[in-house]
């Protein structure tokens, strides 16, 4: 990687950092609005998802990474969602969906 490439990267890091700070402020700010549980969850998780993707894509360079690593992470993400959702769905008969 040449020095110009690195300089370009550094500029991106700074922008991502700024975005992360702003989004953190937003997520805290929204929590003071005391939205209903449904919308609050959706909004909070969406912001977290955006922040997480920024970290993964730019700090961890996933956006320009080799396809093989993307496949590994994609597979584990698929199973990650199975882990999160299926236990809940399976117990669907016995659950109280309100927060």
Partner 1 sequence: MSDTGHDHHEELGFWRKYVFSVDHKVIGIQYSVTGLLFLLFGFSLMMLMRWQLAYPGQPLPILGGLFGPTRMPGGIMTPDFYNQLGAMHGTIMVFLGVVPLAVGGFGNFVVPLQIGAPDMAFPRMNMMSYWLYFVGGVVMFGSFFLPEGPAQSGWTSYPPLSNLASEGQTWWLVGMLFLIFSSLLGAVNFITTIIQLRADGLTFFRMPFFVWAQFVTSFLLLLAFPPLQAAGTFQLMDRLAGTSFFMPEGLVVSGQVQELAGGGSPILWQHLFWFLAHPEVYVLVLPAMGIVAEVIANNTRKPLWGYKSMVYATVFLGFMSFIVWAHHMYLTGMGTAMSSFFQTTTMIISIPSVVILTALILSLWGGSIRFTTPMLFALAFLPMFGIGGLTGLPLGLSAPDIHLHDTYYVIGHFHYVVAPGTIFALFAGIYYWYPKATGRQMSSFLGKLHFWPSFIFINGIFAPMLIQGMAGMQRRLYDGGMIYGHSQDVLHWHKVISFCAWGLFLAQIPFIINFFGSLRKPKEAGNNPWQATTLEWAAPSPPPHGNFATEPVVYRDPYEYSHPDHGEDYLPQFQPDAVAAKSA
Partner 2 sequence: MSSVIPYTVEKRPDTGLNNVKIGIWLFLASEVMLFGALFGGYILLRVGSTEWPHGSDFGLSVPLAFVNTLVLISSSVTMVMAWASLMRKDTRKYKIYMFLTVLGGVGFMVIKSIEYSAKFSHHYYPETHNFLALYFTLTGLHALHVVAGMVVNAYLLWPGFKMWETNPQQFTNRVESAGLFWHFVDLVWIFLFPVLYLL
Q: Which residues of the shown chain bind partner 2 in the complex (CB under 8 A)?
A: 1, 3, 6, 9-10, 13-14, 16-17, 20-21, 24, 27-28, 30-31, 37, 40-41, 44-45, 47-48, 51-52, 55-56, 59-60, 66, 68-69, 72-73, 75-77, 79-80, 83-84, 87-88, 91, 94-97, 99
Site for partner 1 in 37-96 (CB under 8 A): 68, 75-76, 79, 82-83, 86-87, 89-94
Residues 6+ apart with CB under 8 A from 1: 9
Which string of DSSP letters, residue by residue, matches 25-47?
A: HHHHHHHTT---HHHHHHHHHHH
Are 21 and 28 a contacting pair, CB within 8 Å? no
CA angle, 67 then 73 then 46, to 5°:
115
What are phi and psi for residue 65, nearest 5 degrees?
-85, 165
Q: Which is nearer to partner 2, 63 or 88 (CB)?
A: 88
Q: Which does 38 bind (CB under 5 to 8 A by kind): partner 1, partner 2, none?
A: none
Residues that bind partner 1 (CB under 8 A): 68, 75-76, 79, 82-83, 86-87, 89-94
């Amino acid at each position: 990687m040449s020095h110009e490439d690195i300089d370009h990267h550094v500029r991106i890091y700074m922008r991502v950092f700024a975005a992360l700070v702003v989004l953190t402020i937003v997520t805290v700010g929204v929590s003071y609005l005391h939205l209903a549980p449904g919308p609050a969850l959706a909004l909070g998780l969406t912001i977290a998802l955006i922040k997480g993707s920024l970290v993964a894509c730019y700090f961890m360079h996933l956006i320009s990474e080799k396809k093989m690593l993307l496949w590994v992470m994609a597979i584990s993400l698929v199973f990650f969602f199975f882990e999160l959702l299926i236990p809940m769905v399976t117990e669907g008969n016995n659950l109280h969906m309100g927060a």
